[in-house]
Structure 1
Amino acid sequence: MDEMYLMNSLWTMVSAILVIFMIAGFILLEAGSTRMKNAGHIAGKTIFTFGLASIVFWAIGYAFIFGDNANFFVGMSDFFYNGALAEDGGLADTVFFLFQLAFAGISITIALGGFAERAKFSAYVVFTILFGILVYPVIAHWIWGGGWLAEHGKQDFAGSTVVHLTGAMAALAATILLKPRIGKYNKDGSANNIAGHNQVYTALAVLILWVGWFGFNAGSTVSVDGAFFGFVALNTNLAAGAGAVAATFISWLVLGKPDVPTLLNGALAGLVAITASCAFVEPWAAVVIGFIAGVLVFYSARFFEKRKIDDPIFALSVHGTAGVWGTLSTGFFATEELATVGQAGLFYGGGLHQLGVQALGVVTSGLYAFIISFVILFVMKKLVGIRVSEEEEIMGLDISEHGSYGYPEQMSANSTSKISS
């Protein structure tokens, strides 16, 4: 067996594990950004939906993305993937399958962030299945599976569009249909700050996600040949750092103090933005891309809040706005030497062509993800409902949806004190 085949398979398997471990980061991020009474629900539903998404990807998703006999939308082979181990490629097919499964799981996790603190558990079940069949694999096929956007030279090395924008647009559909949480907005339209219960969780979450992103981006080389994964990792880290710095200073300038949630979102925005371009741009451009993402995420969060779009974990800004910017950035900064897909960007003599292709990908993928997700959730809302009752929401989803608290001692003590008073 070829040594390079084994090394590629091992590197991609390690990367898949890193990406799957990012689910732990999302658990802490979402739980820490929301209230204590919903923490157990968030942790449990995230594990469950990743498990469910894995089954859906095995049965249908992988075939729709990478299957042969493709039509305009999807591939049409390898349903219920049988794990056949081919040795004529650059790495084991089974490892590539697991790596791609991890990406699908991350995208649905991002999408479900738009449901936070007010959706029924049953809504997560149904939407995870339908998103995993009708939304994510279609866009992934268009860009990564040899579909029509791939034929146009769409650049998205590790998924600013495929994973992040797709998940964010589904989250947007959910936030619109679910409507804001109780108490988020006053009658005059002003917003109240519903603070998350644990900033240490959110900071630890960002660190876990930051480390996991080396599997996300550098792992997308699916090869150790030439150690190019080191270059991709360098760009990834620089963009994350620049995003954190930019978000910190813009919040300090505007708010008078460096805001902790904003700086954390800045790091994530830098990571999301560089995900499309990490293999196509030089390090200095990675810093610029991350810095702009850090500024954008601050103003984007304020933009959505003023329009009464209640996004507790900032999925729309971190994954949506930064995902759009990251996708477009290759149209400016992709170099002729590094652009193994598509063409060089505007600043490297490529003109407006690649920027146009990137914009086409953003518009078509974003609209498709939003429209299909909106239709799915609208039908679910009319048929079975997707939001818990007012009483259940006030009570907290831990107890109303699952019958137990994530923090049983503290929450039970709070309930007892309220009754006695």
Structure 2
Amino acid sequence: MVELTNFLPAALTLLLPFGLILLIASAVPEEQAPALAVNGMVAWSAAALAYFGLGFAFHFGGIAQVTPNPELSGLYWEWYPLDQSVDLEVARLWGVVALQGFGLAGEAATPSALLLFLSHLALVGTAALLPLGVLPQRVRGLAAVLTGLLTGAVIYPLPGNWLWGGGWLAHLGASLGFGHGLVDFGGASVVFLTGAMVALAALLLFRSRETQAETALPAEELVVTTGPDYRLAVYEEPETLPEAELLPVIPMPSAYLPILSLLGAGLMLMGWLGLSAGLHAPTALNFSPAQAAVAGVMAALSGALTAAGYSWLTTRRFDPLMTSRGLAAGLVVALAGAPFMPIWVSLAAGLLMGLLLPSLIYFFERSLGDETGTLTTYGVSALLGLLLLPFLADGRAGQGWNGFGLSDYYGVAGQGVSGLWVAPGFASDWPGQFQAQLVGIVAVAMWALLLGLLLFQTVKAILNAWARTGLELADPAPVPPARLEEVKLQTEAPGSGSE
């Protein structure tokens, strides 16, 4: 039976996509924010329906093979791409997709299965939301529906199966001797790296050449000088100023709705507190939820601190949007290894990610037109977190993770997930765990990128075909509030109406 207290972490996790919607919407002009937020809810809803009908079965339809939970024992059908002549115990190490539990019917209607489904609604929604901010406004409505459906049906569930459902990435330790297989506690790979790669596909297909041309100004032409009042001044002719007073800067992105950005980042942090309980990973064992929660919170706050400090050094004020993004990036960088690395490592990773964040956002904005910072805030931070683990996991937690090394590991009793530098008395797991992380990163990233390219090529084809009919399918451009007020005044002016 499922304890009532288990529903609280699942409920808290639902705050994660709500916070992400607010954070993304705060980075676009105010007149676009309502439509973008609604499109986010549409994408999440579509993803939830697809995950209910198909995705959960593809994800956890074979979970009984890797968990002793009796309420999940009916979900035993995992497909392996190997010939029947191969020994069954070997074939099970290469599971690709599960095929049981469609529509949460039959064996998928037990309390444990339903709680597992509930705990993943937030994660599949988060993965579906990430690409929306980078899309041109004219395609967001159609893309929201299609992105949600495809993410909930296949983009998220299949990598999720490989990681948490008994699939091949989790078994790389047993099959190829690569550490404990792919280790990713909080879903940095299957949630945030996946969403960022789909966003990259959108940028590659929809990026605006006009925006790139407008932003391709030499960095040296943007300078500041600070006086006793610390006010920012920008000059178009820097050669007229003394060289000592010229400071090349990276401008902070506009924060159109700064309070929303802070609220959104805060909700994401609360969502992490629910995720840290580990309900989303039925194979998780021998870890401390308290350590995971503290590590994630400290990484997030550290990221916010250094991102805010960077913005103050360049603009003489704390930028709310950059601070909020720093908090989100710090959280994401801690997801993969929060229970397995010392807390100070997660804290340091958050500090580093917050420091790198503004420059990387600037780079991807100039090179790919990523105006919402999606690739850096969620993609780069996920990569960094996944790659830190094989260096700094100390072996104190995760004994038997992914069903490997439960009694001993490298002949050492009680050793868990380990990296290059481990606690005294444990054996280093190098390069095995590093190899597992690399294989997992490449597999998940390529899967998401290819499916993303297919998705948005389809969106472009639909829009082009519809445009040839002479009808309008794309979202209409919003009217700025100032323009609405002007129109209102004109219609209320004497003589403007018909007699």
Confirm or deny a common fold (TM above 0.5). yes
The 1:53/1:221 distance shift into structure 2, 3 A limit, reads closer
The 1:276/1:227 distance shift into structure 2, 3 A limit, reads closer
Q: Please point out which of 367, 392, 398 is paired with 1:333.
A: 392
Q: 1:378 aligned to 2:387?
A: no
Alignment of 1:101-140 (within 5 A): 101-115=121-135, 117-140=137-160
- Alignment-derived partner of residue 207 in structure 1: 266
- Alignment-derived partner of residue 412 in structure 1: 484
Q: Secondary structure at the match of 1:232?
A: helix
- Alignment-derived partner of residue 298 in structure 1: 358
Return the offset for 1:251.
Answer: 3.5
The 1:357/1:187 distance shift into structure 2, 3 A limit, reads closer
Alignment of 1:177-192 (within 5 A): 177-180=205-208, 183=211, 185-186=213-214, 188=216
Q: Please point out which of 18, 34, 57 is paired with 1:24.
A: 18
Tell me which amino acid in the other structure corresponds to 2:438: A
Q: Please point out which of 263, 272, 285 is paired with 2:345.
A: 285
User: Structure 1: which 5+ residue stretches go unaligned?
Assistant: none
Tell me which amino acid in the other structure corresponds to 2:371: P
Q: Please point out which of 139, 153, 169 is paired with 2:197.
A: 169
My pick for the range that moved more, 411-420 or 175-184, is 411-420
Q: Please point out which of 291, 300, 317 is paired with 1:231.
A: 291
The 1:128/1:222 distance shift into structure 2, 3 A limit, reads closer
Structure 1: how far apart are the matches of 2:21 and 2:396? 39
Structure 2: how far apart are the matches of 1:370 and 1:100? 22
Give aligned pairs, total: 400
Return the offset for 1:180.
Answer: 2.9
Structure 1: how far apart are the matches of 2:429 and 2:466? 48
2:307–2:323 Cα contact (<8 Å) kept: yes
My pick for the range that moved more, 186-195 or 345-354, is 186-195
Structure 2: how far apart are the matches of 1:265 and 1:241? 11
Q: Deviations over 1:220-261 (max 9, x none)?
A: 477999993222111111111111122223344455554332
Structure 1: how far apart are the matches of 2:393 and 2:465? 42
- Alignment-derived partner of residue 273 in structure 1: 333
1:242–1:294 Cα contact (<8 Å) kept: yes
- Alignment-derived partner of residue 69 in structure 1: 78
My pick for the range that moved more, 143-152 or 348-357, is 348-357
The 1:418/1:253 distance shift into structure 2, 3 A limit, reads farther
The 1:226/1:35 distance shift into structure 2, 3 A limit, reads same
Q: Deviations over 1:265-312 (max 9, x none)?
A: 1111110011111111121112112122212322221221221x2223
- Alignment-derived partner of residue 344 in structure 1: 418
1:221–1:228 Cα contact (<8 Å) kept: no
Q: Secondary structure at the match of 2:371?
A: coil
RMSD: 3.3
Structure 1: how far apart are the matches of 2:21 and 2:15? 10
My pick for the range that moved more, 197-206 or 347-356, is 347-356
The two structures have a TM-score, normalised by structure 1, of 0.84
Return the offset for 1:386.
Answer: 11
Structure 2: how far apart are the matches of 1:6 and 1:138? 26
- Alignment-derived partner of residue 305 in structure 2: 245
The 1:218/1:250 distance shift into structure 2, 3 A limit, reads farther
- Alignment-derived partner of residue 362 in structure 1: 441
Q: Secondary structure at the match of 1:148?
A: coil
- Alignment-derived partner of residue 54 in structure 1: 48
Structure 2: how far apart are the matches of 1:226 and 1:151? 18
The 1:35/1:334 distance shift into structure 2, 3 A limit, reads same
Structure having the larger proportion of residues in helix: 1
**% identical aligned pairs:** 27
Structure 2: how far apart are the matches of 1:418 and 1:55? 45
